Each structure stands twice: as C-alpha cells, then as structure tokens.
Chains A and B, each alone.
Chain A
Amino acid sequence: MRDPFPALDPKPLTVIGLGSPWGDDRVGWCLADALAERLSPHQARVLKLDRPGPALLAYIADLQHVVLIDAAVVTNTRIGAIQRLSIDDLATRSVATRNADTSSSHGLGLADTLALGRSLGMLPLALDIYVISIDPMLTRQTGLELTPALAVAMGPLADAISGMVIE
C-alpha cells in the first residue's frame, strides 16, 4: 500500500500538536491553533491530533520536516518549561513518566511510536520534538483555559517554530 518512491510533500514544514481536549494536556493543540493563525497553508501544514498512538506514523512518514509538540510530565522541571528532545531522550524520559502512572494506550506512547517509525524507516527527513512540562494533577481539569505559566510559555515557542518557516 505504501508507495516505495513517495513524492515528498511540497510544504516544507508540518506542525503537529498532540494532546487531548481538556486541561493542560491540550497545550500542544493551543500552540497548533496559534501557529495556524500565524502561518499560511502554503508555509506550513498544521494539525491537531488526539493521542494518535502508532497511527501518528501515517501522518509523518515521507514528509520533509515535522515539528511535534506535546505536553509531558517531566520530573524536576517547572510548569511551562520547554525542552527540545531527540527520540532517544524521549524514550528515556517516557520510562520515567510511565513509572509515574501515565502509561499510554497499549503501552505504545509517543516514544515507542517514534522508535518503531525509525526501525521501519517511516520518519520524516527532519523531526523536531518539543515537550512542555505540565503538572499531572492539572491534566484532569475540565476547562479550556491553560494554566497561566503554560500560556506564557507558548509565545516563545510559537515564535521559534514560525521562525523556521519565515527564515
């Protein structure tokens, strides 16, 4: 089914906000919304995905440059801290978060999915992963508003990502 010689997506950048509808777990979606307002469809394709698991690979395979943004529970960091991680960094940190009772569906979280994608040669040519630290207790809140520290943190990251295109 997969074209062995796929044409690369003509858009240079795809930005994917990962998350779920409520609480601070939606910070990736909020960033995607902000970037969709700043960037034209010709500059970047912007997507919001709800905990896609391994289905993420179908969205990123064969692309040139993908930026993933996700909320994460990272120990010893302040709420709103932004980290740019490699796939290997992510795998190491995912083990830590799993021990903190945040395991994902079928045990196939973002780190496992990307590791699988790497093994299968399904990753984009360039992949940037940004995680934003959240408080696990606040992920259970039901409102649409982000914790203030997260809302503040979004601005610089949105600037940096949109700068990738504008440069």
Chain B
Amino acid sequence: MTEPSSRRIEVSVLARVEGEGGLEVSIRDDRIEHLALRIFEPPRFFEQFLVGHHYSEIPDLVARICGICPVAYQMSGVSAIERLFALDAPRDPEGDSKKHSGAPHSEPETGRNSQTDKGPYNPPGSRPDSQRNSVSGSQRDSELAPWVRRMRRLFYCGEWIQSHALHIHLLAAPDFLGFDSAIAMAASHGDELRRGLALQAFGNRIIALLGARSVHPVGARVGGFWHAPALSDVAAVAAEAERAVPAAEALLRWTAALPLPQQPQHFNCVSLRHPLEYPMMAERIVAESGLDISVDDFEAHFSEHQVPHSTALHGLLEGEPYLVGPLARVNLNQDRLHPRVQALLTELGIDFPSHDMAQSVIARAVEILQAALEAAEILADVAPQTPAYAELAPRAGIARGVSEAPRGLLWHRYDLDADGLIQQARIVPPTSQNQARIEADLAQTLTRIGLNADADRLRQAGEQVIRNYDPCISCATHFLRLTLNR
C-alpha cells in the first residue's frame, strides 16, 4: 500500500504587491488540502477611527487609507454623503427607480433599463436631455453641478492612469516577459518602461492639478473642490494630455502583443454601470450573473466574512466569489468605451468579455487609453468656477456611496447623526472582494500546472497569479473582528 504523500508550498512574503501578504498551499495525495492567501499586515482600524468625526473630514481621512488610490476613497466618501444630503450638484444623472432586473447583464440591452441606459459612449459629464435642466436650486448650482462632475471624472482619470501604469510596467510586465523585476527588464524594454513612467507621471499631474499633490491629495471636499485649478495649470496638463493619448494607444498595442498565457476560468464579474459613461462614479451595481441593484442595496447581496489566515475580510456575492477591477469593468461596460478605444480593440482583434485573467493587463491598458482620451477632452474645456463647491446642510441618516477604484468596486457606508457626526462606518475595498476569487484562481492554476511540479515553479506561478490582481493589501487590512474568551 502506498503511503499518502504530502507537501507544502509557501511564499513567505509576496513581492511586488502593495502591503504584506503571503501564500500557503498544502498538498496531500495530489490534491490541494489547504490554500490560503495570507494577509498578515496588521489591521488598521480606519472604520473605527472615523467614528466621532464630522462628515466634512471624510475626504482627508479616507485618503490616508491608500497611497495608490486615495482619489477613489475620497470619491466614494463624498458620493455617500452627497447622496444622503440629496445634493444635486455632483450626483449621477440616474434615478433610483430601477429595481433588480434579474436579467443577465451581458444580454442585449433591449428592454433593459430603457429609461436610463442611453446606449453607447457619450462624452464625459453629459446628461440625458430629460435631466439637463433638472438641477434644483440657484442658477449657480446648475452651473456648478456639471462642472464638479467633470472635474471629479478628470481627477479619477488621473488615478486610473497612474495606478494602472505602475502595475502594468513595474509589477505585471516582468512576469509576462520572464524577468525578475522591472530593473532587470530595463535593458531590453527601456522605451516601454520610460513610456510607462511618463504615463504614470501624467496621471499624477492630473491628481495634483485638482488635489494639490498626487499622494493623499487634499483638494476634494463634500460638495465639490476647495477651489478650481488655475487655467494656466490646466493648459499645461492639457498639453501633456495631447502627448499621453498616442502613448496610451501605443501601450494598448504593446499589451495586446505580450506573450500572455491562455487560461480561461469561470467567474462572475461585478462593476458599476452608468447610463452614459464608462463607470467611475455611478448608482447601479451590476454583475454578469444578472444582478442589477442600487448602491443602497449592496449589503443585501454582498457579504463579508473573516477567515483565520487573513486580517482582511473575504467578500462574496450571494455566497460565491466574484471579480472586481479592470477586467470586470471592461467585460461589463465595453459599450461605454470611447469610440477610439473600441476602434483600436477591433483593429487589434481583441474581444471582450474575456474570462482569462491574463487579459487583465490588456484591460488596464484599455482603461489608460479611455482615461487619457477623456482627460484630454475635459482638459480642453475647463471653465473657471468660483466657488468650486456647494455648501450642504447635514442631516441624520445612512449615507452609502460607491466608485470604481483602479482595483475595482469601493463601497462606503456612514451612519450620521443630525450634527453630521459619524456614528458608524463601513468600507469595503476591492482587494477584500477579490480575495476569494484569487484563492479560487490559485487552486485552478496550480492544479493545471500539476501539483507534482517543482516547488519553485508552483511558488512562482502562485505569486504571478496574485500579482495579476494588483491586490492592495494595505487597503484591505483595515478590519479585525476580535473575540476574547476568558
């Protein structure tokens, strides 16, 4: 009788990811007995830090959660508060009248969401005709509303560009091209790396234009921005945008030519859906499985649970793992892409939706081009605006908001009292939502390679699978349920 065989594969510390995590795989009799994406970075308790603070402090406090995606935290936070206070200015032009349709999202749109779904790409910041004059309040408010929305979209374009450029060039590309690091890759791919760094710098300059600095920006506030950017600064960044667009086109061509493995898997994609735009801030959360819900109904469908090996929670949709992030967004919103992006994808023969996670690198390049084109269009037409914000009167209630961080859906909830003080906060970052999906991907990928394969081969493959999701472990580790047994 053969003795049962067992082996253990461990990556003690993951390289080239944001934050501190590791991987543990136990194999017994050619089957994975235990697999854990270990997240051991200490919990950060941000949700508890927020309690007792005034709602106006949210943008500056939550920006500190992440140095890579602070704009996303700010935008989800202000969106939540403004939805509660019923501020017209920065709200998306969607009503809350839609109900869970139950129809698969990937099906033709005829008959689905017919009142608010306005077909293919529309210019950023545009509104359905029926709502162009629907902003209540003064004339100033009606001018402020679209201005704030456009500037927020520009702000967000900057973050997508810088975050995706960093991941593609310095974190993911070395894996696909067989290098240990970007430094090792520099000798043979210097032009591509320089282009990537230039795109990252362009994204950072957009963030600094509206946020005063690119890391933990301070320009955003509930109701708008503290002040509008100087038009001379806008002109300088606009000139850069003209050069960034061809660079982003070249990048998409380059990612399309990368030697990517072909390993399709089955998974459910989740993202925001906007009636007009490629989604950054929106009111509806959709999934390939047919989910189509209001931001307010997130908690009824999405759950989080703790696992022993992680200081981050695992997110599930109706009890199942799911994917958020660039590939999920492109899969669910390809009809909202800019016509130039769609034309280039057609020319390159790239088809979305895709359920091959390796295609995430192409999805990121798609979003860089989308954001560069939108940024160029917005920057070409920035009007002066004083003041650049609306003052709001607080009211008690539950504020819920969401936006699409570079890594995916970022959902916030704040329970406010009548003075606008936070009584309770909940933040669901994309990396928590992707954790269960990453572990499912790891199990499939390692099994496909062969569990008898060399340990280094499995270790390297495991790291590459994880890096491909661009996990932001620092963002995810902000919660710990502590149970004391005495």
- Mark A residues whose CB is within 8 Å of B: 1-2, 49-55, 57-58, 103, 105-108, 112, 115-116, 119-122
Contact = CB atoms under 8 A, between A and B. Distances in A.
Nearest to B15: A107
Given A1-B244, A55-B204, A120 B194 contact: yes
Contact of A105 (B67, B197, B204, B216): B67
Given A1-B202, A116-B182, A55 B20 contact: no
A115 B67 contact: no
B17 interface: yes
Contacts, number: 73
B369 interface: no
Contact of A58 (B193, B195, B204, B247): B204
14 contacts: A1-B198, A1-B240, A2-B194, A50-B67, A53-B166, A54-B170, A54-B197, A55-B204, A58-B204, A105-B68, A106-B16, A106-B170, A119-B190, A122-B197
A123 to B, nearest CB: 12
A117 to B, nearest CB: 9
Nearest to B171: A106
A119 B187 contact: yes
Given A1-B247, A119-B190, A120-B190, A51 B67 contact: yes
Contacts of B15: 107
B86 interface: no
B263 to A, nearest CB: 25
Contact of A1 (B17, B162, B195): B195
Contacts of B197: 54-55, 57-58, 120, 122
B8 interface: no
A116 B202 contact: no
B360 interface: no
Contacts of B166: 53-54, 106
A75 B247 CA distance: 44
A53 B200 CA distance: 11
B94 to A, nearest CB: 35
A30 B170 CA distance: 31
A159 to B, nearest CB: 29
Interface in B174-191: 181-183, 186-187, 190
A105 B193 contact: no
Contacts of B186: 116, 119-120
